[in-house]
Amino acid sequence: MRNRRIFVFILAVSLFLASCGSNDHAAHNDSPPAADTAKQVVVNAPAFDADSAYAYVGRQVAFGPRVPGSPAQIKCAAWMEGMLKKVCDTVYKQDIHVKGGDGKSLPCINLIGVINPKAVNRILLLTHWDSRPWADQDTRDKDKPILAADDGGSGVGVLLELARTVKSHGLPASVGVDILFTDVEDYGKTEWGEDSYCLGTQYWATHPHIAGYKASFGVLLDMVGAHGAQFPMEGFSMKFAGEIQQKVWQAAGRAGYSSFFPYVPADDITDDHVPVNRLAGIKTIDIINLTPDPERPFAPHWHTHADAMDIIDKSTLKAVGQTLLQVIYEQSANN
Ligand code: AHN
Ligand code: ZN
């Protein structure tokens, strides 16, 4: 069956055609560089159901803002844990407290869903799931929490649907997938310092769910659901894990979503991938919606009350989910 769906061919001809007229990628950084592999396995990844991912975003938003210490935090964590248990082989829960930049002790719930636990070749997929307690970029109700459909809900929606797809389609035993839903990312403020963000991930990176945990690489999703989203090549990802970024952007092209993943370098963003790279030593990139403007790198709904369901676009969820399935099934075909 595998043989029928998957066939190997030499890329020499297509590489030659693809590189015709444009070998200088410094001058044309919106087009992919020539592939550095001589062979590329052509993979037909299963289809990603963006309607289902959208419904999962809606379920989270319906709990209200999932801020640390709220009833919504506990209810949403229980829902996500139940969802992960349906589609993963093992689910770990880290129920701890972390110290906020204001000195408060904050309940923090990290969840890890493991698919194919015995595989050595593992892909870590992570996203934060908490909601920012303040709409500090808004003009009104700045002290109220945001619904965080995009900045919190979207990554979980994509990864729950991805796990469901992998479960129903099957994944060769040679590759494992770990899904990490990390809490208390967005309880940060510039004046408290960069380390006031990403508290759940800082904990996980120093206390992984399995001692000595390693993955072949990691991919962080952050704000992957908005209408008109663009995912340029975030700076820390390029420095820490440039080859992974190339791999994912090329997979996006093969999946048919290169318009969402331009080969354009972007700013360094302090995000959950930084502690995963620095503290856990796992090469990890960030897929994050960024503008071309370094003065205003985030979309206009960022940290405002406009981050609600009507900003979410199924075609963005589809582009990200289908790209990740492409990455996963290419990894399993190449091993
Ligand atoms: C800072 O604002 C320093 N980093 C962006 C991390 C973030 C917040 N991602 C989503 N919300
Ligand atoms: Zn945020």
> Over the stretch 219-264, which tens digit does the pLDDT of each residue have?
999 999 999 999 999 999 999 999 999 999 999 999 999 999 999 9
* 115 alpha carbon, distance to own chain's centre: 17
64: pLDDT strictly greater than 50: yes
d(CA 172, ligand 1 centre) in Å: 35
Strands 105-115 and 175-182: antiparallel
Query: What local confidence, expressed as pLDDT, does residue 236 receive?
Result: 98
Minimum-distance ligand to the CA of 303? 2
29: pLDDT strictly greater than 50: no
Q: Between these two residues, 88 and 2, which has the higher pLDDT value? A: 88
> Over the stretch 4-23, which tens digit does the pLDDT of each residue have?
343 333 333 333 333 333 33
Query: What local confidence, expressed as pLDDT, does residue 42 receive?
Result: 83
Q: Which of 239, 226, 196 is nearest to 289 (CA)?
A: 226
d(CA 299, ligand 1 centre) in Å: 12
pTM of the predicted protein model: 0.90
Q: Is the CB of 109 under 6 A from ligand 1?
A: no
Q: Which residue has its alpha carbon closest to ligand 1 atom 2? A: 270
* CA–CA gap between residue 332 and residue 326 (Å, rounded): 10
Spatial neighbors of 2 by CB under 8 A, at least 6 apart, are none
For the ranges 88-92, 98-102, 273-277, 293-297, which has the lowest average pLDDT? 293-297
Q: Is the CB of 269 under 6 A from ligand 1?
A: yes
The stretch 286-306 carries a mean pLDDT of 96
**Token pair recorded at residue 149:** 């459909």
Strands 7-10 and 39-42: antiparallel
Give the CA count within 13 Å in the CB-facing half-sphere of 178: 26
Integer CA distances (angstroms), 23 to 20, 234, 315, in order? 7, 23, 31
Q: Between these two residues, 92 and 3, which has the higher pLDDT value? A: 92
Give me the domains of the chain, ranges plus CATH numbers.
2-333 (3.40.630.10)
Query: What local confidence, expressed as pLDDT, does residue 40 receive?
Result: 66
Q: Is 122 helix (H, G, I), strand (E, B) or coil?
A: strand
Q: Which of 181, 177, 124, 179 is nearest to 152 (CA)?
A: 181
d(CA 270, ligand 1 centre) in Å: 6
Contact between 158 and 317 (Cβ < 8 Å): yes
Testing ligand 1's pocket by substitution, the residue of 156, 222, 271, 286 carrying the most ligand atoms inside 8 A of its CB is 271
Q: Which residue has its alpha carbon closest to ligand 1 atom 8? A: 186
Q: Which residue has its alpha carbon closest to ligand 1 atom 4? A: 270
d(CA 128, ligand 2 centre) in Å: 9
Walk across the sheet containing 121-128 and list its strands. Answer: 90-99, 105-115, 175-182, 121-128, 217-222, 284-288
The stretch 194-217 carries a mean pLDDT of 98
* CA–CA gap between residue 151 and residue 129 (Å, rounded): 8
* CA–CA gap between residue 123 and residue 129 (Å, rounded): 19
Query: What local confidence, expressed as pLDDT, does residue 334 receive?
Result: 82
Taking each helix axis from N to C end, the angle separating 235-255 and 314-333, rounded to the nearest 10 degrees, works out to: 90
* Beta strands in 13-140, from DSSP E residues, in sequence order: 39-42, 90-99, 105-115, 121-128
> Over the stretch 172-201, which tens digit does the pLDDT of each residue have?
999 999 999 999 999 999 999 999 999 999
The stretch 77-102 carries a mean pLDDT of 98
Query: What local confidence, expressed as pLDDT, does residue 16 receive?
Result: 36
Whether the CA torsion 231, 232, 233, 237 is positive or negative: it is negative
* CA–CA gap between residue 104 and residue 60 (Å, rounded): 25
284: pLDDT strictly greater than 80: yes
The stretch 86-90 carries a mean pLDDT of 98
Query: What local confidence, expressed as pLDDT, does residue 33 receive?
Result: 56
Q: Is the CB of 130 under 6 A from ligand 1?
A: no
Q: Is the CB of 287 under 6 A from ligand 1?
A: no
Q: Which residue has its alpha carbon closest to ligand 1 atom 3? A: 270
d(CA 86, ligand 1 centre) in Å: 31
* CA–CA gap between residue 108 and residue 90 (Å, rounded): 20
Query: What local confidence, expressed as pLDDT, does residue 43 receive?
Result: 87
Q: Is the CB of 222 under 6 A from ligand 1?
A: yes
Q: Which residue has its alpha carbon closest to ligand 1 atom 11? A: 186
41: pLDDT strictly greater than 80: no
**Token pair recorded at residue 6:** 């998957």
pLDDT, the chain, mean: 91
d(CA 192, ligand 1 centre) in Å: 13
